[in-house]
Amino acid sequence: MKLYNFASACRSAHPCLIRSTAVTALSIGCCFSGAASALAIPLDFVNITDMPLGPGSGTTPSINDNNDVAFRSGSDIYFYNRSDDSFLNIMTLPGAPTSAWAPRLNAGGDILMIDNATRDPWLYLADTQAFIDLATLPGYPGNTQANDLNAVFDLNDARQVSFHSGDNNFGDVYLYEHATGAFTRVTGQPGGAFSGRSNKINDLGQVAYGSVGITGAPVFVYDIASQITTNISSLPGGPGSGLGALSFSDSGGVAMFLNVGPVLYDASAASFLNLASLPGYPAGNASVDYNGLSASGDYTFWHTEIYYFDTETQTFTQLTNVPGVTPAGGSLSSINNNGVAAFTAGFFGAEDIFLAIPPCPADINSDGVVNTADLGALIGAFGTTSSAADINGDGIVDTADLGLLIADFGQACP
């Protein structure tokens, strides 16, 4: 499904600054910058599902820190490799389940999914291309009967899985550790809730979950190593409660939805931020489901449109339905620790998957990394008005730009 056809006009007006392979997406889905638009932060948009090898449509994206994406297209689950723009339909591999829903992707390319017929979680191991039906393992507690399969299971880089088991309203949250094959009940631990449903697991080895069957539905975080559970909602400055669907970051941050809107918990500062209290917070209907939170606190969420909250500037950027600037339609999003968001656009059943990529201005030669080549280019342009080397955009290449390049030196751009 093609939403844009800006072709060469788009290429000349808004070239992709990230890497050369992204430019090839222009004529098949468009890659264009929002820098000259009404966007609060500049972003480049790339339609990955309409690339030459892509399936043409997709939904329920999950993005990792390599900027790879797992997504569902029809009854298939695809893995998109950002490094070479290749696609793998894992459902065509031996041992795959007959159907799958809402994949979760880690940095190693492993994918967690739920068989939407049996409600059993399946784990795909990228290094061996093997599938594991967790329901066949000793100690498996039982499948999920939750209504919303998008919110009830998750996977981290250590191949640890959190998942919901049992009744929709009084089920439990469990941990599966692939390294040991052990299952651990997370709910019911000291200090935690008796039951839970929506859950996420991060790379710190923590499971966040929303309680169910309890008035106010607080949000808890269980630390796997210490076996300590913390009621995040009731910490000083907290909202006291939160809805059961949530987002969780690799820095321990939590995003929870209240009636007033999303509240972000910053674990490093032990502080809370009510996004609805900020200027520019959008009006409209909101969804607590299928939003994303990065380690730095950047947040993507649906509020009639899909929005990108930049925690550094505390601004909201609309990712969908800005005429002539962003893709139309869509409701689901995921964000990684590079600040790259993967999101759906289009009409239900015929969506595309887009990437929203923050620019990397210190990568002057656009080779994907800030290194000595960029330093040489900046020194060569020093004192001029070269737009390519003017990293801070103030009209002159000077020591301010040199300082920004040094700060980003060695950084791999998304």
**Do 245 and 289 fall within a single domain?**
yes
Q: What would the two tokens of residue 92 be? A: 């065509």
174 lies in a domain?
yes
- Does 317 fall in a domain? yes
| Residues 349 and 393 occupy one common structural domain | no
User: Do the Cβ atoms of 90 and 96 come closer than 8 Å?
Assistant: yes
Q: What is the pLDDT of residue 213?
A: 61
Same domain for 288 and 391, yes or no, is: no
256 and 383 part of one domain: no
Pick from 175, 171, 121: nearest CA to 145: 171
Same domain, 41 and 174: yes
Higher-confidence position of 406 and 40:
406
- 52 and 175 inside one domain: yes
pTM of the predicted protein model: 0.86
Taking the alpha carbons at both ends of the chain, their separation in whole angstroms is 25
Residue 320, both tokens: 């969908």
Q: What value does the mean pLDDT take over residues 197-207?
A: 96
Confidence of residue 283 (pLDDT cuts 50, 70, 90): confident
**1 domain-assigned:** no
Residues 345 and 398 in one domain: no
Which comes out higher in pLDDT, residue 256 or 136? Answer: 136
201 lies in the same domain as 318: yes
Q: Does some domain include residue 199? A: yes
Mean pLDDT of 90-100: 96
Share of residues in the chain with pLDDT > 70 (%): 89
Say whether both 310 and 394 belong to one domain.
no
Number of domains forming the structure of the chain: 2
Task: Name the average pLDDT for the chain.
Answer: 87
Q: In angstroms, rounded to a whole number, what is the distance separating the alpha carbons of residues 157 and 23? A: 30
Same domain, 305 and 395: no
169 Cβ contact partners less than 8 Å away, ≥ 6 residues apart: 195, 197, 212, 213
Specify the pLDDT at position 327.
93
Which pLDDT belongs to residue 23?
29
For residue 98, how far is the Cα from the chain centroid?
26
Question: For 144, which DSSP code?
Answer: B
DSSP string, 233-275: GGSTT--S---S-EEE-TTS-EEEEETTEEEEEETTTTEEEEG
Burial class of 94 by CB neighbour count within 10 A (0 to 12, 13 to 18, 19+)? exposed
330 neighbors 346 (Cβ within 8 angstroms):
yes
**Pair of tokens at residue 129:** 């291309």
Q: How far is residue 371 CA from its own chain's centroid? A: 27
12 with 117, same domain?
yes
DSSP state, residue 412: B
- Per-residue pLDDT at 251 exceeds 70: yes
User: Does a structural domain hold residue 172?
Assistant: yes
Q: Give the span between the Cα atoms of 316 and 308, in whole angstroms.
A: 6
Of 294 and 261, more confident: 294
Quick check: 63 pLDDT over 90? Answer: yes
Average pLDDT over residues 17-35: 34
Domain assignment of residue 364, yes or no = no
Per the CB < 8 A criterion, the answer to whether 61 and 70 are in contact is: yes
Q: Are residues 327 and 388 in the same domain?
A: no
- The domain that holds 168 is classified in CATH as 2.130.10.10
Asked whether residue 348 is assigned to any structural domain, the reply reads yes
User: Are the C-beta atoms of residues 295 and 339 closer than 8 Å to each other?
Assistant: no
Contact indicator for 71, 77 with CB cutoff of 8 Å: yes
Model confidence at 79, pLDDT cuts 50, 70, 90, reads very high
pLDDT confidence of 61, banded at 50, 70, 90? Answer: very high
Contact 99, 111 (CB under 8 A): no
- Backbone angles phi and psi of 256, in degrees to 5: -130, 145
The total number of residues written for the chain in this structure: 414
Alpha carbon 217 to its chain centroid, in Å, reads 24
Number of C-beta neighbours around residue 289 at 10 A: 19
The whole-number pLDDT of residue 359 equals: 83
Q: Give the separation between CA 263 and CA 274, rounded to whole angstroms.
A: 4
Mean per-residue pLDDT for 79-106?
A: 96
Task: Give 78: exposed, middle or buried? Use CB within 10 Å, 0-12, 13-18, 19+.
Answer: buried
pLDDT at position 216 is 65
Per the model's pLDDT, the better-predicted residue between 92 and 387 turns out to be 92
Q: Which domain holds residue 402?
A: 372-407
Asked if residue 122 belongs to a domain, the reply is yes
Token pair for 275: 């996004």
In this prediction, residues 120-126 reach a mean pLDDT of: 97
